[in-house]
Amino acid sequence: MKPGKILWRVTLWDRLLWGVEFSQPDERPFLVGEGWATYPAQPLYAGQPTRALLFDTRKQAREWCRKKEAGYAGHQNGCAKWRFRPVRVREGVTKVR
């Protein structure tokens, strides 16, 4: 970089949203992807990346978590111990060059 040049970093997309963290006994928690959705979104175009399951409000995320836990509650194969909880996430896209 030449002296006197200013390096600009442009954030094109920066939003606070709600995601879902999945946990089970003896495993490290992780952020749930859109594959966990009841009806997973179909790609709109070739090469579209997968994304985290995101919600605009905490209420929406809590409701999704409640329904998932209720659905797994009666299972006898260990799924009853699965936990889903809403977590605050930041979605951001920054132009690299």
Q: Using one digit for the tens of pLDDT, what is the confidence trace for 2-43?
A: 666 665 666 678 899 999 999 999 999 999 998 887 776 678
Q: Which residues pair with 31 in a beta bridge?
A: 21
Query: Which 8-state DSSP code applies to residue 55?
Result: B
Give, rounded to a whole angstrom, the gap between the first and last alpha carbons of the chain.
13
Chain centroid to CA 4: how far? 40
pTM of the model: 0.78
Dist CA 54 CA 56 (whole Å)? 7
- In this prediction, residue 37 carries a pLDDT of 76
For the chain, give the mean pLDDT: 87
Dist CA 56 CA 19 (whole Å)? 9
In degrees and rounded to multiples of 5, residue 52 shows phi and psi of -70, 155
Dist CA 68 CA 29 (whole Å)? 16
